[in-house]
Structure 1
Amino acid sequence: MSLLTVENVVAGYGSGPSILRGVDLTVEKGQVQCVIGPNGAGKSTLLKTISGLLPPREGKIIFKGKEIQGLRPDQVLQEGICFVPQERALFHNMTVRENLRMGGYIMKDRNQLEQRIDEVFDRFPILKERHNQKAGTMSG
Structure 2
Amino acid sequence: MFGRTYVYWDYSFFNVSVIRYADVLLLYAECLNDKGETTEAINIINKVRARVNVPALPLTMSKAEVLKHLQDKERPCELALEGSRWYDLVRWGIVEETLKAHNKPFVENYVDTKHQLFPIPHSEFLLNPDWEQNPNYSK
TM-score interval for Structure 1 and Structure 2 normalised by the shorter chain: under 0.3
Whose RCO is larger (CA < 8 A, sep 6+)? 1
- The normalised TM-score by structure 1 is 0.27
The structure carrying a bigger strand percent of its residues is: 1
TM-score (norm 2): 0.27
Q: Which has the higher helix share?
A: 2
Report the structure number with the largest CA radius of gyration: 2
